[in-house]
Amino acid sequence: MIKNPIRLAIFASGRGSNFEAILSNIISKKLNAHIVAVISNNSQSGALETALTHNIPAFHVSQKQFATESDFSKHLLEILKQAQTDLIVLAGYMKKISSEIINEYKNRILNIHPALLPSFGGKGLYGHYVHEAVLAYGCKVSGVTVHLVDDGYDTGPPILQKCVPVLEDDTADTLAARVLKEEHKIYSQAIQLFAMDRIQIKGGRVHILSKE
C-alpha cells in the first residue's frame, strides 16, 4: 500500500521538460504526489536547476565520483531511502539503472520512451535517433510508452501507451514535438495510477484496476 501523496524521486539527465510537466500537475493538484528528490548525473541538467528553483532537494550524482559502480548505486540507494521514496521516475535519465536499485525498488521504477515499444527502443535509440528511425522506416504512427523498468534497455512491461500520427512532411524535430506533448500528459497519468494503487502486475503484464 502506497502512502498518500506518493513520494517520487525523479532521475533526469537533460532539459527536464517531463519533470517540469509532472511538477506543474502536482502544483495544479491534478496529480497527488510529492517530489522528494531530483537526481541527475549531469551537473548542467535543466532538471537540477528547476528543482533548486522550487526548493526540491537536488542531487548531482555521477558515477565518476565513485571508485566502483556498486559504491555509486549504494549512494543513490541511500538518497532514495532517506527521502522515503515510493516510486522512481526516470525522465530522460541517460544511464542504465543498476540491478541493485532495480531489486530494491522492484516494479516501482518507471521510464518514459518516445515511441511505441517494443518498436524503436533499446540501446542507442534515444532522443532524435528514435524519431529518425521511425521516419526512416516510414511508420504512419508513433507515440509514447510509459513502462516499468527491468534489467534490459526499454524492455519492462508497458503501463500506458499513446499513439500520435506521423505526418508526411514530418522531420525528427516536428515528430519529437508532437510526441513530447503527449509525454507531458501521459507520465502524470501513469504516476497517478500508482498513487491510487491501481497498478497490478500479473504474469509479467501490467493490469490497471478500475476505480473503486
Decide: is 17 part of the binding site for ligand GRF (CB under 6 A). Answer: yes
Distance CA 98, CA 163 (A): 30
Question: Which CB, 52 or 209, lies closer to ligand GRF?
Answer: 52
Choice from 39, 131, 183, 206 touching ligand GRF (CB under 6 A): 183
Among residues 8, 9, 10, 16, which is the contact residue for ligand GRF, using CB under 6 A?
A: 16
| Residue 192 sits in the site that holds ligand GRF (CB under 6 A) | no
188 contacts ligand GRF (rule: CB under 6 A): no
Q: From the list 6, 18, 36, 178, which residue makes contact with ligand GRF (rule: CB under 6 A)?
A: 18
Kindly determine how many residues on this chain lie close enough to bind ligand GRF according to the rule CB under 6 A. 13
Burial of 200 (0-12, 13-18, 19+ CB in 10 A): exposed
Burial class (CB in 10 A: 0-12, 13-18, 19+), 210: exposed
**Three cell numbers at 138?**
516510414
Q: Which three cell numbers stand for residue 206?
A: 501490467
Of residues 86-125, which lie at the interface with ligand GRF (CB under 6 A)? 91-92, 112-114
Interface with ligand GRF (CB under 6 A), residue from 14, 121, 143, 156: 14
Minimal distance, residue 173 CB to ligand GRF, in Å: 12
What are the cell numbers at 11? 532521475
Residue in 113, 131, 184, 207 annotated catalytic: 113
Could you tell me the three cell numbers for 190? 501513469
The CA distance from 36 to 201, in Å, is: 25
Q: Can you give the three-state secondary structure of 70-93, one letter per residue?
A: HHHHHHHHHHHHHCCCCEEEECCC
CA distance 155 to 102: 13
- Our answer to whether residue 147 is catalytic in this structure is no
Q: Which residues bind ligand GRF (CB under 6 A)?
A: 12, 14-18, 91-92, 112-114, 180, 183
Positions annotated as catalytic residues are 113
